[in-house]
Structures are given as structure tokens and as C-alpha cells.
């Protein structure tokens, strides 16, 4: 039995999560990571286009793993690539928090 090796490549197209989107930041005064979940809100005729969001939940903590487990347990994400993205971003926020550095979402 042979094992297949698959070359990794990034998807070019972005598919938005129908559940909503997240804003991640560090609250330095409380020394914790804040993850805000916004439900998609469409204002125009095109109901598939997200114009803004409605804040539905805030998840706070100091540990990326616990934050990700909570987001999944609360069913706030529906797409696997969105969950993977959140894991990467929340881990970056945790490293910044532990190192005393600034964190800005989506910065490479």
C-alpha cells in the first residue's frame, strides 16, 4: 500500500461563513484575548452580500485552545477553513499577549 503525498496550496477564492464573522483583539487592561462574533447582516437587495454585522457573542480568555473549543462548542462557525483561520489568528493573539506585543487581526 502506497501513501499519497499532496502538495499544499492556498485556495484563491474566499467563501464567507454563512454563520457570520469574528473580530479578534487583545484587551491589555484585562490581559486577555477578546473574540467578538457578528451575525451577517445584509441591507441591500442582494441577500448574499454581507453589508455589516450584528454582535451576537463575545468570547474572552487567555488560552487559544480554550477559545477555539468554546467557539466550536457554541456552534459559532460552520466552515472548516474558517475554523482553521480562527485557530491561526487566535494563536497569534495568544503569542502576542504572552510576549507583550501588539496584535492586529489578518496581519501576515
Model pTM score: 0.86
From CA 86, how far away is CA 80, in angstroms rounded?
10
Q: What is the structure's pLDDT at 92?
A: 97
Domain boundaries, the chain: 21-99
Q: What is the structure's pLDDT at 24?
A: 98
Q: What is the structure's pLDDT at 108?
A: 62
Q: What is the structure's pLDDT at 47?
A: 60
What SS3 string covers 33-95? EEEEEEEEECCCCCCCCCCEEEEEEEEEECCHHHHHHHHHHCCCCCCHHHHHHHHHHHHHHHH
Q: Tens digit of pLDDT for each residue in 43-87?
A: 766 666 667 889 999 999 999 999 999 999 999 999 999 999 999
Amino acid at each position: 500500500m502506497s501513501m499519497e503525498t499532496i502538495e499544499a496550496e492556498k485556495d484563491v477564492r474566499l467563501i464567507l461563513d454563512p454563520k457570520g464573522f469574528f473580530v479578534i483583539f487583545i484587551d491589555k487592561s484585562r490581559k486577555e484575548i477578546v473574540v467578538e462574533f457578528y451575525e451577517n447582516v445584509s441591507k441591500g437587495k442582494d441577500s448574499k452580500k454581507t453589508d455589516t454585522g450584528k454582535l451576537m457573542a463575545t468570547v474572552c480568555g487567555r488560552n487559544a485552545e480554550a477559545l477555539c473549543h468554546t467557539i466550536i462548542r457554541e456552534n459559532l462557525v460552520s466552515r472548516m477553513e474558517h475554523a482553521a483561520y480562527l485557530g491561526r489568528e487566535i494563536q497569534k493573539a495568544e503569542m502576542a499577549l504572552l510576549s507583550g506585543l501588539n496584535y492586529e487581526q489578518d496581519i501576515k
